[in-house]
Structure 1
Amino acid sequence: MQILKRLGAGFLGAVMTGASLLVPAMAADLSAYPAPFVTDGTTNFLMVVGADASPADVVGAINIAVRLGAEPGEEKTVSTSGGQQTITEGVDLGLSGDLIYFNDTFSKDVLTKTDMPTILADGTFTDDDGTNYDYTQNVDLGTSARFFYVKYDTDKDPELIVDLSSTSSSSPLYTLKVTFSKTVAFNSTKSEGQTITLFGKEYTVASDTDSTKLVLYGSSQSVTLNKDEETTVAVGGTDYTIKVIGFDTSNDKVILSVNGNTNDIAEGSSKKIGGLEVYAKTVTSWDNGNAGIAILQLGSQKLTFEDGQPVQEGDDNTDIDGTQVDMTTNPGSLSTLNIKVYKPDSDNDYIAMGSDNAFVDPVFGSFKITFAGVSSELTADARDQIKLRTSGDNKAYVEATDKNGNTADIYYAYDSSGTISLQDDNQKNIYVIEGAYAEKDEYIFLTPGDEKYTHMVKVKKIYEHATKGYAEFTDVFSGETYKTATGDFNDTGDTRDLVVDGKTYTVTLDATNDKVSVTYADSKTTIFPAIELANGEKLAFISKQTTGLNIPNTSTIILPTNTKTGWALANGTNGSTFPSGQATYWYKTNDDANLTQITVNGMLTPGILVVEEKDNPNSVENIIYVVTSSGGTYITHTNLTFTGANTGAVSTETDNVEHYVDYYGTFVVKDATDSHHTIYTLYYPDEQMYALVGAGSEVTVGGGTGTVTYEQVVPIEDNIARLDTDAAVEQAKLEKDLILVGGPAVNRLTAQALGLSYPSYGAASTVPENAAMIKLVENAFTTGKVALVVAGWEAENTQAACRVLQQYTKYPELTGTAVKVTGTTTPVVEALITEEAQAEENQTSE
């Protein structure tokens, strides 16, 4: 902000301290250009050229205007794609190219040490004889979990979840697997008291282990104490004071006091004393128990594994629900230890979104599976909304946004006494067959065979004339007008070319009925034209077509779901069907096998058809459609249909409101709270929705969308240029800042601004000889408004000064209130000493 920089420090200081100042008007300065003529995208100026000026002055004025029209204005913030969202901490259970799309299970099938290097590290168990047993650890992921949308909680709306789908060990969420290089006798005394690290946690083999049960003890921390030694430790947020009282030498027991509670524990066993679980890993005494040492594991976790049974924990051997042990073969000769993990409760067999809802491994607790989020929230702003609404009792419309960001309410269905037609709210027909004839205010489509360039247009004007005839159309989305070439357009059969998006269409006149048709020269016929919308989906209007059709059997037709060439149908077929993409078309032909009737999936009333983009990994363009129906006195939307996998209707907390989600991730809200008028809202994602599910000690998400802020050019739409003889100038010069092009010899306002008579030539003009000047005149015609004089000795000097303003960023010398411009091919800018400045300098020197 250059203006702020010119505020003196004293002024700012006074304001900050609450001082009262009378601030003089800010002095105009060329260094602020293009202000005040363009400021933050706002324009309030007038450019004036002399009526008697050379054309070179006009050219110069154009150069200035072009640059001012391109000045940045409004600040805009737009969403940007930062690429796919990914799991940045933890391991992604989706795979690149095979993400977890809706209704899919995990893409990965196994987790190894590559995925979780610490938790799934290879290990070695060493017995008391020094024999080593190497082992590997994996997590085999099940196939029953799926990404879905369900209402589990009766007091909440449905939500996106990872549905575990099974409460049985036969379909586990995952299986923990430990595989030994050779069999281990864990029930041997050689194994007792030895340590093993499983899934990131260290455990000690307990003496309780036998031929059927493997018993392990883990702990949060370990302490070593001598007889009569005492220590205080914090476990789980609670302080415990532990003291070795003595030893029972006959039974290899240590006698402990924990927070004043006394009990004994045998070596290789655990016991809860004073609320603290203590495992006596090693107990050694001498001198008849008067001396000794104990290695204790505090906060110990006892785990018991028995083949075919749930894992058990604690001294009371409580089952860990949702687990099952599978051993090969038993603790006395163990080669594999498998633990199946699943959700046992059918009312809670899912993982909700968010880190707080993660599924923590119930056995070792060292990792969790987290449903971290989705690539596109169901109602995210980035989703394109398609709204199906009604107006009054007899009109239906769709609100949609095209690929260029233009949003329109398109009325497409009108109910007249129970008969619904493909018409707007004024009962003007909408024709969905290429080549159909339409009169003024009716609708047709410009269909070049590519939905990216398809336009729905309204016939604006048909001007029939032998030499000046034409037709005009209005784009329903953008409001833009398209006009044919003018010429002979007076008789039936006359044609005019219409060029839109570089595509040339033929507009044919039906003079008898004052109608026109539009066709594209590709020997194909488009039926139910599809328009590309904001996120790449396509929208088509559908209704049974029974008139105006007589398409030859050998023709190629373009449908919203595919292209079909040739019919090869029996003569007179009625009510037959053929598939095209994911839609089924019902049709009828005449005796020549020409197509005479067609509709989509047997629909008889108007509706809308949405064609989704190709999904992964099937490369299928599924469709969603809704039709209208009449209740006799009112119109409504009905018969929502998906061709892709979807949830079906999911009830919500709001009566008569249902939700749907399909495989692509399109979210649909059906609202029937008005019993006469059901409405739908479709939320279509920019890309196919996928789930972000990760595993690890922590799981976080990164990437995805962001924002970028930029300045958007604001077009100048008002009249910014006039001649000095224009009557409107007299009022404008009192209201606007002025740019005056041309000297006082050719521009009346320049002369007035400089206080000269018109015309003024030569030295009397104050313009430097064989050069030009750019001069700011404050309060030229009214207080607070400036006039910028751009005047040259000759016309080419004026044009050079205009070029300086056009390229102002290249001229740092453009400062002060006046500069001199010399040269015409390569202008040079220098300070201009005005008579006023010279007089002031002379007075100062005296």
Structure 2
Amino acid sequence: MKNNFKKITAIAAGALMVGMTMGNAVALSPSDNAFDAVVYGAQADNSDQMSAESIASWLGFNGGTTSTTTVGGEGETEEEVVFGTQIDASGYEVETTMTDANIPTLLDEKLSWDDGLGSTDYDIHESIVIGDMEILTSLDDEDLEGVAMSNNMGLSYRYVFDDALNCTGIGHTAADDLYLTILGKSYEIEDMTATTITVVTSEDTLLSVGESYTVDGKTFTLDDVWSDGIMVNAEVIDDGQSKKIDGIRVKADSIIYHSDTPETSRAILKIGTDISKTYSDGDEYIGEDEDDPLWVWDISTACTAAGYVGVTYNVNINDADDSEAGDSIKYVGESYVLPEGFAAATLEGTTDVDYEDITIEFADIDLYNSSDNAVANEDEKVIVISASTTSSITVGGEETDKIYLWYAENGSETESYGNTYGAVEVFYRDHDGDNTPTNKARYEMNANLTATQTLARANVATVEIGDTVMDIDVTVASGVMTLSLEDPDDDDINFTIGGTTLADEAGTLEKLGTTAEDADANDILVSGTDVSTKDKSIMNDYGIIVAEDDSSGVEGNADADKVIISIPDEKVYAQVSVLGGISTDTTTSGSMIFTDSDKSSWANKNVILVGGSCINTATAEALGVSAGTCDAAFTGATNVGTGQYIIKVVGDAFTTGKTALVVAGYEKENTEAAVSYLKSNVNRDPMIEVADGNTYFGTTGVSGTSTVTKTA
């Protein structure tokens, strides 16, 4: 008997797995997603490995699609990302470079690989790198529908070689095949240089003579197998060679030829538009549009220590109208998701705050001095600043819900504090009734101009909403007054006040800007940005909102010469997470093939165990026997002898709530027969049903067919 095969060494990673429960028994089929992984013995004959690959292919352990809606995952969440800053700013939980210390699902382990000169363990780790990703508000782009997260080529994944890798050994006849788990998906690597990688992109399938496999709607049937070649769809392909059939390339990758029973021979085929493809740094990642890729390969000195292979986000998304490579700005609850659904950066939300409105408008009112009953100045033009509660505004020693600002030219002052150059006088609503008549505008303080038409910035009052305290300041330059509200971050909302130019003996405060009931340039500035003609509300980086309730936005407020400022009771922050091991709203099949020695990678999954206890320690543990239980001892433990196999369901085998399915024969040919029976399960009687304790015994006939009985 002749077996032709290749050696394979794989490194596994955490992937998105679908759990299973031991409920009502149903016939096992690929659509069930009942099992997450297949495990074979590291010391087993390679036919067990090929059987494991065959089961994996049958179950459809290939990639899937993802979306930007994520659930679960492990990683870091920063609860207080300041608006207008990077999500990885100094001191944040989300760091510029994140490893398994931040995201437990990232790899930090050894890659075992024989380069043809001997097997070596190479230290590798994965990282996620955060670059230019910022939290934006409508101050950055008025068309944003809320707080948003940008991405200016700012999200990357890296598979880092901590030790130099002998890349010249890749593909050498004496070397193991090299498999790298990139973004949670295992890729066979045919070649790699400092800035390129050659990846097998075809689908692998293990077929017996007469079996078929469909790719892109085209069916390929293994007609025959011999020692150094195969026949597919009546086309002969030599071992290790490929041929294009019906527009798809088919490669005879590995052959298992049984000279005694040729009809039981099998072969692994690689089938795809390309068997492999070489990518350079900056090329589109697998599955991306070649001309407009969202993700591209990021490869840097890959064969040297600290070199890496990875992917990076390839477009700039920084405003509401951006739509690049099918992606767009992310709002609360949305994510930038790495390929294969590997990890995501998500704008989780904003901190909870309560808002109170402050209104700035203009009126003509009577003004009173601090205590007299009579009107001091009748029907004067004033700025009115009002709040919702009676203690929100403080001027001098008075707490109130409303203050009034009036320009007193020289000689018209309310109380005997006349000033040569004029003054801005401040009044408050006497809601406490300290004076008669009550609820009138009572004089409290003034800010004297220091020269003709000039007043350096002066504080005249404060607004206190919860923990937010804002200064109300005035400035006069060239006879024009600016009213400023300064937030705790020292950012201003400025209002240009129009009216008669302020002078020593003249001047009024009547409107916003130069034109009444019309928005002019520079009427309203937020953090230095003119927002006067914006038709949307504007939020600054503290979380203060201008014109939230106006359908015409800030421009509507300016047109009305009445501005509403919504002030939070504390600073508003964004909440951002970077998580791995996420799940998305579209199922991603990311299951893997493992050896028994890699238990940490599969013990918490639902697994199919291929091969007996003699060569698979996982099978031994599941069956409750010692590792290395062979021959007569195996028969004594399982009642499986020459020409027979067992398929057994074991609940809670390695992890509570997880299931193992043992598929083992007395000899490797019997294991192959068990695998064949399993794969054609839905057409068999009895059918394999996944329920704890279900056991199926099979006897292999001369032609390779099986007779199977079920016991509970």
Q: Structure 1-normalised TM-score?
A: 0.42
Q: Which has the higher contact order (CA 8 A, sep 6+)?
A: 2
Q: Structure 2-normalised TM-score?
A: 0.48
> Considering only CA atoms, is the larger Rg found in Structure 1 or Structure 2?
1
